[in-house]
Structure 1
Amino acid sequence: MRVTILVDNYLTDVKSIRHRLRGEWGFAAYLHDLKILYDTGLSGDVLLHNMRELGIDPDEPDVLVLSHRHSDHTGGVLAFLKARRRPITVYAHRLIFERAAVRDSKGEVDISAPFDLPFLQRHGARLVAVEEPREILPGVYVSGEIPRRWGPSHVGGVSDLVRDDMALYISSGGLVALTGCGHSGVENIVEYGLQVTGAKRLRGVVGGLHFMGLQGDRVAEAARYLASKGPELVVGTHCTGVMGVAKLAEALGPAARVGGVGVEIDI
């Protein structure tokens, strides 16, 4: 299975020079074999530019999965749908239209999804609102709401517990989990994924783990947990943060890989 990171905070691959790729705060990834776009980044401009430069037509994806409602994952929906000529199925949590906010040093910032249901309908998107796990393709599941029973949540400075945080689970010789921000907490994401898919082992994790803003001992604990599962690959992107990626490398050795715009992952 081939995954390309289309939006990330960082540019880490020299192909970004050849293709003039762009980065921004946010995340999006494309699963080529499944034709699933997972998240859309913040602006839409970056998503479409990088798709075009990497030879991915906006009409190619059959499915869009939104990990949660925050605008750094949903902000590209408007531009993406406007660029398409054919309908698409969108899977999102039932709370996708609820207001969301984050607090920085200057106060509160609205980070709600910048669209509503009528917009989706006008632009050929069929919204499937989920709360429980749902198999969307053979062996491919949208998690629905992830229970927080195996470890702590990673919610940082946001205004709520982000109950709408959803992972994408693929059962392929084990569990592969894609996560947008990982607000549910990595232990919860992985353990629930093993339960939902029936997989016996963790093969890989790709996406944001929201280690930014956490205490160092918590980051080390999460990294040790991942190492204990013996994955083939862990790619921390977006809100994992530079120090978080370093902790993953320390705990996981060669199984840890740096993400970044344009990086291709085969798993």
Structure 2
Amino acid sequence: MKVSILVDNYATQLSSLSRRLLSEWGFAAYIHDYRILYDTGLTGTALLNNMKALGIDPNEPEYLVISHRHIDHTGGVKAFLNARSRPIKMIAHMNLFTKAYATGEGGKLEDISVDFTREYLESKGVDLVMIKEPYRITNEVMVSGEIPRKWGPSHTGAVTDEVLDDMALYMNLQNGLVTITGCGHSGVENIVEYGFQVTGLNKLYAIIGGLHFMGLPDERIKQVTNYLAGKSPSVIVGTHCTGILGIAALYNALPKATRLGGVGSIIEL
């Protein structure tokens, strides 16, 4: 299975120069085998530029899955849909259009809600599926729906709510569970353990995406890396809000499994 990182906070490869890849605050990934675009980044500029550079036509994806409603994951939706000439099925939490806020520098409240409406999606022919429970795309791929917070704490950072709409992708591969997460607001333990519960698997093969280590105390990061080390995954790719120090902590705890993300990174599973 092939996963391409289309939007990330970082450019980590020298090939970003020759391919003119753009990074921005946010996340998006493309799961080629199932034609799933997971999130769209902040602006759409980086998404479309990097899709073109990597040879992914905007009309190729069959599904658009939104991890959660924050603008750094949904801000590229309009640009992506405007670049398409055919409809798409979009899967999002039922709270998609609920206002979202974060506390910024100096205590200022920032609006980080989606910048599109249901009417706009309808005008683009989007088949919008709004969920709370797990939603199966194929026999091997499931959108988590709302993730219970009963195995560990949430990772909400500066956000003013618990981000109950935070949803992961779960993939059942021969080697075990593959989890892709946008920001990991649900908390790593909750994301993984719920994945085991809904898929029936008991082996974590890979976890890819934002784990929201940014802003966490060192002790909490140590708890998470110890938890992951106990699951012995083969692949860990911390992106976006995992943060530079968080990525370093993953590497220190699981050096054989940890790989660099960044725009243009391709993960073969």
The residue identity in structure 1 corresponding to 2:209 is: G
**CA–CA separation in structure 1 for the residues paired with 2:19 and 2:53:** 6
Matched residue, 2:258: 256
Question: Where do residues 94-113 of structure 1 align in structure 2 (5 Å cutoff)?
Answer: 94-106=94-106, 107-113=108-114
Identity of aligned residues (%): 58
What is the deviation of 1:246?
A: 0.6
- CA–CA distance in 2 between the matches of 1:6 and 1:235? 14
For residues 217 and 257 of structure 1, the distance between their equivalents in structure 2, rounded to whole angstroms, comes to 23
Q: 1-side partners of 2:44 and 2:101: how far apart?
A: 20
Hey, what does 2:182 align to over in structure 1?
180
What code does the residue aligned with 1:154 have? H
How far the C-alpha of 1:200 sits from its partner, in A, is 2.2
Cα distance in 2 for partners of 1:190, 1:200 equals 10
Letter in 1 for 2:53: E
Is 1:151 matched up with 2:146?
A: no
Structure 2 residue 67 is matched with structure 1 residue 71: no
Q: Is the 8 A contact 1:27 1:40 kept in 2?
A: yes
The answer to whether residue 195 in structure 2 is matched with residue 228 in structure 1 is no
The residue correspondences of 1:81-160 to structure 2 (distance < 5 A) are 81-106=81-106, 107-160=108-161
- The Cα of 1:220 is off from its aligned counterpart by 1.0
Q: Which residue does the alignment assign to 2:15?
A: 15
Aligned to 2:162: 161
Q: CA deviation at 1:145?
A: 0.3
| Equivalent residues of 1:139, 1:197 under 8 A apart | no
Aligned to 1:37: 37
Q: Which one-letter code corresponds to 2:62 in the other structure?
A: D
Q: How much does 1:68 deviate?
A: 0.1
State the alpha-carbon separation in 2 of the partners of residues 14 and 124 from structure 1. 39
Q: In the alignment, what sits opposite 2:206?
A: 204
Contact kept? 1:202, 1:231, Cα under 8 Å: yes
Aligned Cα root-mean-square deviation (Å): 0.6
* Pairwise CA distance, 1:138: 1.4
d(CA) in 1 for partners of 2:14, 2:138: 34
Distance 1:78 1:25 in 2: 17
Deviation at 1:162, TM superposition (A): 0.1
Cα distance in 2 between the residues matched to 1:246 and 1:224: 14
Runs (4+) of structure 1 moved beyond 4 Å? none
Provide structure 2 residue ranges, at least 5 long, that are not aligned to the other structure. Answer: none
Aligned counterparts of 1:60 and 1:214: Cα–Cα separation in 2? 38
What displacement does 1:9 show? Answer: 0.1
Q: Structure 1: which 5+ runs fail to align?
A: none
Which amino acid letter does the alignment assign opposite residue 163 of structure 1?
A: L
Structure 2 distance, partners of 1:124, 1:250, is 47
Secondary structure of 1:137's aligned partner: coil
Q: Which residue of 1 aligns with 2:171?
A: 170
Distance 2:111 2:263 in 1: 25
Q: Hey, what does 2:54 align to over in structure 1?
A: 54
Task: Report SS of the residue matched to 1:169.
Answer: strand
> SS state of the match for residue 253, structure 1?
coil
Contact kept in structure 2, 1:96 and 1:113, CA below 8 Å: yes
- Pairs aligned (count): 267
Deviations 1:159-179 (A, max 9, x none): 100000000000002100000
User: 1-side partners of 2:124 and 2:256: how far apart?
Assistant: 43
Q: Match for residue 246 of structure 2? A: 244
Secondary structure of the corresponding residue to residue 225 of structure 1: helix
**Which SS does the other structure have where 1:245 is aligned?**
helix
Q: State how far apart, in whole Å, the 1-side matches of 2:34 and 2:158 are.
A: 34
1:30 and 1:124 map into 2 onto residues whose CA distance is 21
SS of corresponding position for 1:222 = helix
Q: Is the 1:88–1:126 contact (alpha carbons within 8 Å) kept by the matching residues of 2?
A: yes
